Structure 1
Amino acid sequence: MISLLGAACGSTTCNQPAGGPGEIASAPDATPATTAAGGSLLAFVSGKEGKIRVYSVDERSGGLALLQANATDGLPSFLAVDPARALLFAVDEDNALIRSFELDAESGVLTPINTVSAQGDGPAHLSLSTAGNWLLVANYEGGSVSVIPVARNGALGNATDTESPGARAHMAITDQSGAYAFVPCLGADMIAQYAFDSIQGLLEPNAVPSAGLPANSGPRHLVFHPQGAVAFGINETASTITSFRFERASGRLTPIATASTLPEGYSGRNTGAEIAVHPTGRFVYGSNRGRDSIAVFSVDASSGKLSPLAEVPSGRGDGPHNPRSFALSPDGHLLYAANQSSGQLVAFRIGADGKPVPLGVEAQAPGVTYVGLFRFPGHRQPAPR
């Protein structure tokens, strides 16, 4: 069978992360991943406390040193970051606004640029287009998606387009080419599909306008495999992950198979939240709220199907933890789980086998709903405040 993902990631020659899975904080003889060249690794955290926290990441220990806790005027429940231009964008879920900031990567200080309407109630997600000149915003309460222009200096313009894909739009992203956009609609059990005009900032319903899912799936977030032929979507209500074949010429997603994020026999309350694919394309991660865990899957290079590989608790000590968000470092060596209920940011090392191993270190961020890891080229590792 011809590989959907290409020969490299289906063979033993596939690029694998350096460094073992040892617990760095508690095992001095373990070999940590080497700190990657090319600039500082920063973690960005936001949530219910109304602040955007910027941390310096110690890539050997997994430790987080707070640089700045930037106060905002609303609820920054989700962020998008442009490291090349040192810009940060935040939804303001309470006030239906999108805020733009300039970032000083040395100090972690955010300077507001401007604010525009999200053109819909309850913005829950935003992402930058491939070229970085547009923001796509999913308005959860309004069931809409908006396209907002981004100037080179980070200033936001008024929306060039607003569409109504379906109830509880939870995310809006483009594929790697930037030619197509996708909006998982939790309340409509489908992923809306658009052609994206990256010159005019316009969305046009695809010839096949949606990829349907079974009733009560609740599609929430979607990620594309690094090689682009497959995508993976986590379903909040069903606690499952669906693999999709992606036809790059038509911009169409077609379901391949669905795997549960829960172990067989589990009967407790749970909802799926975040999803990520490893930079090598060999592993997929999904978070469970209720079960309070990160589920790990291996990716079959021939079919794109997922097989359960491991499961790790997302928090330390007694819960509830509620891992609403988690993030991988750009090189795939580190994973940070953001536990909304316990306010814990918990660090894990990811080895060549794809399994997260807790490092025994954490930071506190009350009501955290988002964590993201980004490397800033040309910036030295900043000193903590």
Structure 2
Amino acid sequence: MLFRISSFLLFFTCSEIVAKPIDLFFGTSGRNSEGIYHATFNPENGKFTPAKLAAKIGSPGFLSMHPNGQILYSLGRWDGSAGTLGYRIGSKGELKEFTRMACPDGSGAHIAVHPSGGFLITAQYGGGSVAIFPLDKDGFLQKPTVIEHQGGSKVVERRQETPHPHWTGFSSDGKYALIPDLGLDQIVIYKVDPNKPSLSKHGVAQSVPGGGPRHMRFSVDEKFIYLLNELSLSVTTFAWDPSNGTAKRLSTTPAISEQVKAGESFNSAAEILVHPSGSFIYSSNRGHDTVSVYQANSETGKLKVVQVQPVRGAFPRNINLTPNADWLLAAGADSNTVAAHRVDPKTGKLPCQRGSVINVPSPICILFVE
């Protein structure tokens, strides 16, 4: 009897864990949006609760969590200023703003909190800069320091005349900050001093000419960097050496064929993800409105496209995987939708279109909070 009760309790507990809805926040940017929205997602059936406004702010765009799991930071615009805001997360997904700080170089395109929780950085696409915002022990934003990028590859007219930092992130050990710059065709690598905090120029990783670096991800084992090129709709693989913070370019894989691109009036890559298994990569294609699925060679980092799947939405600015990677969510910025796609764990493909679609005004960022 004890065994039966224990087995029942174990089954019941596991079922509760599996079926528990996941909180998620949507960063938005558009005339129809009012700020940051909140919903929950059920990984058992792929269903959302309706999205509700959690915080009213102009163009919050991308979001990032503090390592303590209790504070959410966003970009934003207010009263003629632009910068960064911090919110405490309530038990029902409500956001209570407690800090904001303007950036002297304009609005940001991306944001990331350092693993130490001591500072965050933002990339200013229009300003051509990176801003470092110190955080005090309670998460309050301090006055930022701005680092200006210089130059421009000038390969693609009107897009690469000047620097355009587009993404911010860190190596897992927190020693390096990496900034893909669309205007430079480079990943700019900075050495991190978490105590000041400060960034010092360490080196660059050169992408393909005219590629237009947008976002990047490390492989699960951090042997490789997968860089998404917005302008050429391709992924460039780099070998990453964590001991000295250098990246060597290895190969480049087109996301969609030239024939497919020729059939669209507009083409642009937006987001890239790595499956937790390390075996699959995903990137979103605006214009074609699809997700490309790649198999990744764990020894060489070389990619092979195995599927190009419609996102059931328009202009997929962002995609994200649920924490257990059972589902891929795609944000259609122009369709005002977020659609759920089931992920096949063996192949990485998106075989079933049975997940639901939720209405969100101009979504451009999907952030899961566990």
Aligned pair count reads 335
CA contact (8 A) 1:78 1:125 kept: yes
1:64 maps onto 2:48 in alignment: yes
Match of 1:174 among 150, 170, 175: 170
How far apart are the structure 2 equivalents of 1:136 and 1:193? 13
* 1:327 aligned partner: 320
Aligned match for 1:128, one of 94, 99, 113: 113
Gaps of 5+ in 2: 1-13, 151-162
Give 2:285's aligned amino acid.
N
Q: Match of 2:223, as an amino acid?
A: A
Matches within 5 A, 1:85-234: 85-92=69-76, 95-104=81-90, 106-159=91-144, 161-166=145-150, 167-206=163-202, 209-234=203-228
2:298 and 2:332 mapped to 1: Cα distance? 31
2:342 corresponds to 1:349: yes
Taking the aligned partners of 2:87 and 2:184, their CA distance within structure 1 comes to 33
Q: Select the structure with the greater relative contact order (CA < 8 A; seq sep ≥ 6).
A: 1
What is the aligned partner in structure 2 of residue 46 from structure 1?
27
Cα distance in 2, alignment partners of residues 82 and 54 from structure 1: 17
Aligned 8 A contact 2:165 2:182 in 1: yes
Q: Which residue of 2 aligns with 1:255?
A: 249
Q: Secondary structure at the match of 1:121?
A: coil
- Which of residues 221, 229, 243 is equivalent to 1:235? 229
Q: What is the root-mean-square deviation in Å for CA atoms of aligned residues?
A: 1.9
1:40 Cα deviation from its structure 2 partner: 5.4
Write the distance in 2 (CA, Å) between the matches of 1:74 and 1:43: 19
Residue 308 of structure 1 aligns to a residue in which SS? Answer: strand
Task: Name the SS for the 2:60 alignment partner.
Answer: coil
CA distance in 2 between counterparts of 1:120 and 1:302 reads 41
Secondary structure of the corresponding residue to residue 147 of structure 1? strand
Q: Which residue of 2 aligns with 1:363?
A: 358
- 1:102 and 1:255 mapped to 2: Cα distance? 40
**In 2, Cα distance between the equivalents of 1:284 and 1:225?**
9
Q: Please say if 1:305 is aligned against 2:302.
A: yes
One-letter amino acid matched to 1:313: P
1:241 corresponds to which letter in structure 2?
V
Kept in 1, the 8 Å contact 2:21–2:43? The answer is no
Q: In the superposition, relative to structure 1, how do residues 328 and 191 fare at CA in structure 2: closer, same or farther (>3 Å)?
A: same
Deviates more, 1:226-235 or 1:352-361: 352-361
The superposition leaves residues 146-165 of structure 1 with CA deviations (integer Å, 9 ceiling, x where unpaired) of 11122333211112x32123
Give how far 1:83 is off.
6.7
Q: For 1:194-221, what per-residue CA distance to the aligned partner results, in whole angstroms no more than 9, with x for missing partners?
A: 1111111111111xx2111222111000
Partner of 1:289: 286
Aligned 8 A contact 2:253 2:304 in 1 = yes
Structure with greater helix percent: 2
> Judging changes above 3 Å, is the alpha-carbon distance between structure 1 residues 35 and 310 closer, same or farther for their aligned structure 2 residues?
farther
Q: Provide TM-score, normalisation by structure 1.
A: 0.83
